[in-house]
Chains A and B, each alone.
Chain A
Amino acid sequence: MVETQHIAEQTAVAASFLRYIPLAPLLAAAIHMTFGARAGRPFVNVIACAAVALSFIFSCRAVLELAQAGGGTFLLDPVYTWIDAGGLTVDLAFRIDQLSAVMCMIVTGVGFLIHVYSTGYMSHDADFARFFGYLNLFTASMLVLVLGDSLPVMFVGWEGVGLCSYLLIGFWYEDPAKASAGKKAFVVNRVGDAGFLLGMFVLFWAGAESGHASLRFADVNALAPGLSAGVAALAAALLFVGATGKSAQIPLFVWLPDAMAGPTPVSALIHAATMVTAGIYMVARLNVLYLAAPGVMEVVATIGGLTAFGAATVAIVQNDIKKVLAYSTVSQLGYMFLALGVGAFGAALFHVMTHAFFKALLFLGAGSVIHALHEEQDIRNMGGLRAKMPITWITFAVGTAAIAGVPGLSGFFSKDEILASTFDSGHWKLWALGVLTAGMTAFYMTRLFVLTFQGEYRGKREKYEAAEESPLTMTSALIVLAVLAAAGGYLGVPEVLGGSNFFAHYLEPVIGHHALHMGHADEIAVMLISVVVGLGGIVIAYRLYANGPGPDATFAVSGRGLHGTLGNAYYLDTAYDRFVVGGIGALAQVLWRFVDVVVIDGIANGIGRATAALGGSWRHWSTGNVQHYAFSILVGVAVLMLAVALGVAR
């Protein structure tokens, strides 16, 4: 902390240790990938976890120094100038303010637990070095995303996590379906990334117009209020396209359910707790820009609400334990965008955090079950596992209760804040959608929980006999996450319940102050409605599924068309496959086999043949006499020059 520099309203405090936060896992990844396999499993396990632990420690130090530095400051580590040419200057600089501090703690904290868990989960996989190489690389990329001080640096992490997601989804690459799922994730994300790129271009040139072309967040947020409404909306909308890709919103969510092909710890870390929240983080980071584009905010809220609802309807009919959780994640991310869209950035981030706790817990719990049942993922073939794996059972129950919004647990507080803000902002239709979604969330999660752990076991007997509680490396992560999922909400107890809403206030230096306008009575009423709906969902699901998945058959028959539609996620994937993928493929074939081969080459070869025919008739010009040739060249050059002088020079 030697020098300070003034940037916008906030002051940067130099903190050159920030670079070690992403560097530690990056180095670990390099170690794993180069000689991890030879160094052996214990070595890789230790290095992998220690690197993330180191990042966590540095993150804690950052949080403390940020607190000491006082209000209106942030920590900045300008490592070096990455790109500097033609008016574009991009510093590789890392930034810790309250917003990135929260994200850093989530990524390194939850990330560490998942790394520890993975050492147990992957203990039988021969390719452990490659796995931890990717996993550490992911953590490093995610930290670059979170710590980046400018849009391009964020984009480095943004694409980096996409790459790691691709590599980890397709980790078991010998299965073509898994490899395809990885590729799909990357490509769909790239669609969003194209929007991200264009959004950056708009902002850069808008900055150039006003005299300061820069993509630093501080500069963009300083620029945003002065932008014309159209430019602000264009930039915000394009960047939001990026967010819909990374955070799996309509219409780009289709990759996330397929991403479940990856090892389950990957699903927990990347596809629940961290990477998929990047879109929310980005919008919150650019909150000034988004507030300058109210129309886009409406779009964000609507997309979020619809995604939350739509994905919940799909989750109800899924039978793959991970697919239920995947659609649930899409749905919960929808809640977060709903919050962003109504201006409740703090509520969105609060849900990012609590969701990281309980969804990571649920995925790791699911992984524990899958591990115990040797890759069984169909909940119709489960049941009665509570006796076999009590820790997984209890912790999963906590996670289920948390996401279902049982009062007192983390999900209750964060979801309530989102719904209250939505109602308060006058979006009562979206609020109703949100409440309905809360009921469905409670329903499908209870269904999942009951079918997995309660009642009688329904699958192959020998799998059940062999099933046992997971090793300590895995259960310890479950226990810690269960505590966080239960208690994490107390960081943001609303004032109406006697709390201080510490979390929202903490973030205020970055995202501003957001207060509810409605009275306490209304707030309580709104809260009670969602609690009742949520508890109702739990009770109904519990009663329906206590004896197995029987009721599903009834639904399937009674709502045949609907059931199929939901089961296939509204056939969006099918439509993409047929029209987009199929259309592009057909077009490509036409371009190659007709335009290239027939048209263009046809013309070229035709000219060639015509020339050859002409040449044949002129063959006697080829005498083999050098002097003749020299003369011809001279004449030719002279004629050319004459033609040039006469024709061109006019």
Chain B
Amino acid sequence: MDSAVLTWIVAIPALGALLLSVIPEQARTILRSIAVAVAAIPFFLALRVWNAFDTSNGGFQFVERSEWIPQFGISYFVGVDGISLLLVLLTVFLTPLVLYSSEDSIHQRLKGYLVSVLLLETAMLGTLVSLDAILFYAFWELMLVPMFLIIGIWGGQRRIYAAIKFVLFTMVGSLPMLVALIYLGFHHLDGPSFALTDLYGIQLTQTAGLWCCFAMLLAFAIKVPMWPLHTWLPDAHVEAPTGGSVILAGVLLKMGTYGVVRFVIPLFPDALPVFMPWVAILAVVGIVYGALVAMVQEDLKKLVAYSSVSHLGFVMLGLASLTAVGVSGSVYQMLNHGISTGALFLLVGMIYERRHTREIAAFGGLWKKLPLYASAFLIVTLSSIGLPGLNGFVGEFMILLGGFRADPVTAAIATSGVILGAVYMLWMFQRVMFGPLDKMENRVLEDLTPREIIVLAPLIALIFVMGVYPKPFLDTMEASVATTLTYASGQVPATSRARAVTSTDGDCLEAAGSKVAGCTITAEPQLPAHDGNGHGANAHEGKAGVGHLHSEDPHAGHAHEGSAH
């Protein structure tokens, strides 16, 4: 495999953006073609990574590492495990489609838009492959800028309000996260290190663990968004242009859930039993609340936005279950939601371009005039409500199964989301597609254009493939999910170099100043040896593998003050 392939995947969109910036604005077709071509490169590179990926290895692969700020233990450190690889694939899959569809939805300043989307792709990919906490944070914040511009420049009427709300909400969460990350990095025993592989298994005091976990959960919960921190989302979606909504729903929201998988679950085994039941409760509130509010929306986009609150509630529920099946279901559902909701926003955008309204009441009887559009919409709708045979079911089923293990009552309430999901989606579908075609404006509508078919076809194909044959995706993530949950159970494998950290006051700053020499940088991460077999370990043996992972390490989390010195 090519060296530095992940770096290339991350960098190519930004380089493409640079290239675009020297092409004149008037050359719309050329601009768009180049953008799509550029975005296709990371897609194919990521496919090659997937092809060469060792699914039996739950650790990080394709790792690249070089010093960045060695004094602080900050490095350029990237790599993927099965979980981040799948989300990378989702990102590089959706972005070209968004760029390609921009011809229909972006009528002004196309160049700036394409540049923004490409920069956003770089930021998203960077966030996903970062294995250094500071690098992660840098990319995390970098995502805000292009998204802010996309909403603020190419958005609807209240775009400024929505854009600022989006940024402010996110920032409120990210600053405490930065503090927590810095704290963690300076509590690494062998000098400051922000490498995730060093931080996993880090021993924190009870209080510190709780606070850091809370800070990071807050940041991620806002991004997801979890109830009651979700109100930025409907505004952002309604104002964002179609492509912005697709990326926002498709990838950006997953950064929150991904953060939980990558940071919260493996880093804070002792805080998990404290927070996860609450996360589960908020997730279930989000599922029901999002569904109920979606039910009474009058604007198509707002309806889909609230449906995201509900769907992401499912994802958080699965993560909070801390069961292998629940977490796997959540990761799968992240992909499904990206595809289904991305497709829904594209479909809403397509009808908006025709009618210049998204009011549900403005439609009715569209099936008669737009059978192809309606059929595509129906498939995506069914995917969204988790019909077996389509992608959404697999994830939802696994999530609820895992959630039921953790707490049957919350899972039972969450299952009502399955009913409510059918209610709001089918009612919307009925009002738009069924009934008489009685509005004059709707009688002249044209069915899908070839370009629109090209955009939708891959999404719909994946909806079927992932529903019928989820194996390649589930196999990719399985070992990584198992590894993550090993950390969550507080079992730090012997190979881990992280040890108990002394934490007398002021030690941290001292460490920042003087322990530079202790900072080790290794080229290869030393992950717990999982003997490449996450399958056998937990699959068919009943209790041990599928059970709820309780914190089983009695001494974990009680700070061993001074012991390590």
Contacts and interface: CB of A to CB of B under 8 A. Distances in A.
Interface of A: 33, 80-89, 152, 155-156, 158-160, 163, 166, 170, 173-176, 179-180, 183, 186-187, 190-191, 193-194, 197-198, 200-202, 204-205, 207-213, 584-585, 587-589, 591-592, 595-596, 600-601, 604, 608, 640-646, 648-650
B394 interface: yes
B277 interface: no
Given A85-B474, A86-B327, A650-B205, 4 more contacts: A86-B539, A179-B435, A592-B292, A645-B508
Contacts of B477: 85
10 contacts: A33-B375, A152-B388, A160-B387, A173-B433, A187-B423, A198-B412, A201-B411, A211-B542, A592-B296, A648-B212
B418 A190 contact: yes
Interface in B521-551: 535, 538-543, 545-547
A85 B437 CA distance: 46
Interface of B: 165, 168-169, 178-179, 182-183, 186-187, 205, 207-208, 211-212, 228, 231-232, 234, 289, 292-293, 295-297, 323-329, 332, 365, 367-368, 375, 382, 387-389, 393-394, 397-398, 400-402, 404-405, 408, 411-412, 415-416, 418-419, 422-423, 426-427, 430, 433-437, 468-471, 474-475, 477-478, 481, 503, 505-509, 512, 535, 538-543, 545-547
Contacts of B182: 640-641, 644
A645 B506 contact: yes
A520 to B, nearest CB: 48
A605 to B, nearest CB: 8
B273 to A, nearest CB: 19
A454 to B, nearest CB: 39
A585 B291 CA distance: 11
B542 A83 contact: no
B398 to A, nearest CB: 6
A186 B412 CA distance: 20
Nearest to A177: B435
Given A183-B427, A197-B397, A608-B168, A174 B365 contact: yes
B538 A588 contact: no
Given A183-B426, A205-B405, A645-B508, A173 B207 contact: no
A176 B498 CA distance: 65
Given A179-B435, A604-B165, A649-B205, A86 B211 contact: no
A591 B179 contact: no
B415 A197 contact: yes
Contacts of A204: 401
Contacts of B475: 84-85
A222 to B, nearest CB: 14
Closest 9 CB pairs of A and B: A86-B325, A86-B324, A87-B546, A179-B434, A201-B404, A645-B508, A85-B474, A588-B292, A173-B434
Given A176-B434, A588-B295, A592-B296, A86 B326 contact: yes
B231 A84 contact: no
Interface centre among B182, B187, B323, B397 (most CB of A within 10 A): B397
Contacts of B387: 159-160, 163
A84 B503 contact: no
Given A641-B182, A644-B179, A649-B208, A213 B400 contact: no
Contacts of B408: 201-202
B183 A187 contact: no
A238 to B, nearest CB: 9
B41 to A, nearest CB: 31
Given A585-B295, A644-B182, A194 B418 contact: yes
A87 B435 contact: no
A83 B474 contact: yes
A209 B183 CA distance: 41
